[in-house]
Structure 1
């Protein structure tokens, strides 16, 4: 049932008032990032000194960031895995004194999904970041409170289960992240489709719920590819589901919304569908930049907002204020940065132009955790760095010693693939010998063999790739051209990731698909 507009606006006003103290503290913290971060670290160490990890690393004797770096090494997920395994089995405090409320699966299409402990303290830090973002957004753009909002909420596509010690693995709903926070008061203002476990049914119901919401004022999703994939059966006449989707909507929607849909289809934009829509928030940097630019064409009259760097493992930056990039989440976790010269610095030491990898220490029990996200400092908010997402430092594929990484591949594709096209590299590990397939979605005519030759030549400038090819451990590159709009590749990746257990709203655009289950599904979907 559609809520009363007055109730929606009242909910936002109530939220804004409740969030004001947090907003005031945040604005003060931006002027003192070093002191703020020292307080965060001191609290995390004090709270968890009696955990098994805290006792093993002498948390009680650590007096500041410098000693913390001396006594606690940087951990990859593999390095922290023995501790996480203990936290999955034991009932005594392992990583944190607070027991995890649940373990969340990482959402990306990396080579392996990981389990991240979510404690009440960690959830509180995430909630405060969301509160600050939404409160600042409402202050800048009160029009988002003039109607309902859609926040990407997708059902878990992997069966719920429990760890050996009984702690749930996976949250039942994305709404679990909001419980007990001021943001939870906005839940009645949301468009919430039924969370069907069947991905196809859920996607159809989500589309129906959005089209029925003539008062939609704000859309918040993670990846732009998610929203593109929802809208594709409407606007792309070449999509196999196009005719069936329109026929179904013609019977499911009331007459006024059917008329609005016809006007939107004729115009090729969503303005007629959602005349109150004030803003869309999604990832807009790194690999998402191109996909966001194409999606904006469907929404020419709304404000587009960056999402900040929210990962399953923690929040690194959050949208706030004006300027390029987003300020570091200095109140949420203790943040360190591995610079390109190999040195490690605190948040306050970063300067505009620096590029670095993120190291997180969180209330969930990740200590000096190498997130493998690369960021670039774009400006300052007060004295706190604003950052943009560059890409994944750890995104690599190694079928036969070729050691491909996303940075190298990005440079290759930039030099060889038309900027109007979308492309990604997919390993075919089951072939003999294994090889890579370059998927290219283009609206124009492309010479597949010429493209294959130029990309292969560029890849062989890498010693390890060339060596694997010379030894015939790796087969020659192959190219598949996908007819239709460039966004077709994003749709295929979205579908492949969902088929292999990744929540629909969490799929990340990538140019190197190194999760083999997703790679196999993507190759099957694009095998014409």
Structure 2
């Protein structure tokens, strides 16, 4: 069912007019990243100088980034945890002068789920990046205004509560992030499925709502696996829920949409379903690259737009302009970059080809926080670096001391699996005796399992700690599990396993190494047959 196109276009035009000053400011800032970042740091320190943290580290006496690095150490989450716990107990200003509106849970791909303070200042930092991004999308692809948009907004998968001082823990939905922003003025353009407590029911209702929308013109999701997992039940006859899903939809769709769905199934693409669809935005680098490439075949008519690096803790990049990667969000937070040798550089000091870990200081009270994301400089917008996500530094699995990390595993698997029609990941099987790793391969053409296992095992043995654990017999050899059919079968299983273990549907991230044992166990159970 379509909506009044005039309402949608007027909302976008009003938004773009209101966003124009922010867009102009961003372009000026991108030309002078050192000036922009110096001001961002000064503002953050001045705003929070009289907090408990600010007094402890002498914010009042810090005049530049060099002094900031001297006085304030780098912080992992565990280092900031005592301060965050104080902010959940006390009513005085602990980390920030503004009290948090809520504490948001991280998406949970690490074993430790973190609580991140969300203050009005921090929400403003994230919203500013969203405004610039959406204004640039409108400028690049005006056809998105020809119909409504779907933005992935996931219901919470865990019950929300309150801290000891009464501050809410967990947001009700992703819509909470938009309050007070001009982005909220785009609400009339959105297709919003009803939230359901039951995740399976919510997914069905989301699919129904999308198929019913004949005017869908823009899709914005985080992970491509989220969208591909919705579509699998439509297009893949070997999916266990295929027939039931089609029957359920057939009983609820109006005749014109049933006809469009049949045409899409016959063609194998989504073009007959959504002829106005102009753009799809999702993660397209790092481990998401292979899944985005596979998903594009379902949408031959659309413009594909990369997502920036938005984490629960910070926004690092925002999509803007053309070229590889995305520019750093220099107006939002103060950004630093730590190299493998321990050197720390500011945004304006980065050079093409540099690979470093992101360090953020935010209006939410994260000071010199090690985000754990590694990025590579691939170009520039003005003088501001454009970067691509490389992988996580802390994504590690250590059953018996083997210390496998995602960077090592990704390097091994990319070297062996070069066919874009294959999807792979490595999952620990901790319940076996001895424990071992299972290589999951989804492709239409099976490989010889023994040969693949030997090749992957040989490559992993180049990692000292893995080889040591194998020599001692603490770890068994790699085993191979082949998922017949489309490569998207693995994407769907990864998505389902993430949801089963408390990760919001829209936040589930593709991984080449599954570090969380409960997610790995769920994935192995789902693919066991």
In the alignment, structure 1 residue 306 sits paired with structure 2 residue 295: no
* 1:418–1:376 distance in 2 versus 1, CA, 3 Å: closer
Within 5 Å, give how 1:236-247 maps onto structure 2.
236-247=236-247
Instruction: Kindly provide the CA deviation profile for residues 311-370 of structure 1, in whole angstroms up to 9, marking residues without a partner as x.
Output: 111100101111111111000000000124421010000111111110000000000001
* CA distance, structure 2, for counterparts of residue 459 and residue 194 of structure 1: 46
Q: 1:457 — aligned with what?
A: 458
Q: Counterparts in 2 of 1:286-305, with a 5 A limit?
A: 286-305=286-305
Distance 2:331 2:196 in 1: 36
Deviation, structure 1 residue 3? 2.9
Give SS of 1:159's match. coil
The DSSP-based 3-state class of the residue aligned with 2:124 is helix
Q: How many Å apart are 1:92 and its aligned residue?
A: 1.4
| Deviations 1:381-429 (CA, angstroms, capped at 9, x unpaired) | 1111111111111111111110101111112212333533211111122
Structure 1 Cα separation of the partners of residues 318 and 206 of structure 2? 27
Residues 442, 490 of structure 2: 8 Å contact kept: yes
Quick one: structure 1 residues 253 and 157, their matched pair in 2 at CA, closer, same or farther if it must change by over 3 Å? same
Is the 8 Å Cα contact of residues 212 and 253 (structure 1) preserved in structure 2? yes
CA contact (8 A) 2:16 2:135 kept: yes
Structure 2 CA distance, aligned partners of 1:418 and 1:105? Answer: 36
Structural RMSD (CA)? 1.1
Q: 1:226-280 CA deviation, whole Å, 9 max, x = no partner?
A: 0000000100010011111111111110000000001100100000100110100
3-state secondary structure, aligned to 2:413 = helix
Check whether the contact 2:7–2:188 (CA below 8 A) recurs between aligned residues.
no
Equivalent position SS for 2:298? coil
Query: Unaligned stretches of 5+ in structure 2?
Result: none
Look up the match of 2:80: 80
CA contact (8 A) 1:110 1:513 kept: no
Structure 1 gaps of 5+ residues are none
In the alignment, structure 1 residue 214 sits paired with structure 2 residue 188 = no
Offset of 1:430 from its aligned partner?
Answer: 2.5
Give the structure-2-normalised TM-score. Answer: 0.98
Partners in 1 of 2:483 and 2:264 — Cα distance?
26
Shift in Å, 1:89: 1.8
| CA displacement at 1:109 relative to structure 2 | 1.8
Q: How many correspondences in the alignment?
A: 528
- Could you report, residue by residue, the CA deviation over 1:275-303 in whole angstroms, capped at 9, with x for unpaired residues? 11010000000100000000000000100
CA distance in 1, matches of 2:349, 2:156: 39
Q: Which moved more, 1:113-122 or 1:447-456?
A: 447-456
* Counterpart in the other structure of 2:523: 522
- Pairing 1:24-43 to 2, within 5 Å after superposition: 24-43=24-43
**Comparing 15-24 and 448-457, the one that deviates more:** 448-457
* Contact 2:422–2:441 (CA under 8 A) maintained in structure 1: yes
Whether 1:507 aligns to 2:512 is: no
TM-score, normalised to structure 1, is 0.98
Q: Distance in 2 between matches of 1:186 and 1:417?
A: 42
For residue 463 of structure 1, report the CA deviation from its aligned partner.
Answer: 1.4
Which ranges of 4 or more aligned residues in structure 1 deviate by more than 6 Å? none
Aligned to 1:496: 497
Match of 1:484 in 2: 485
Is contact 1:417-1:451 (8 Å) kept? no
Alignment of 1:330-341 (within 5 A): 330-341=330-341
Which of 426-435 and 305-314 deviates more? 426-435
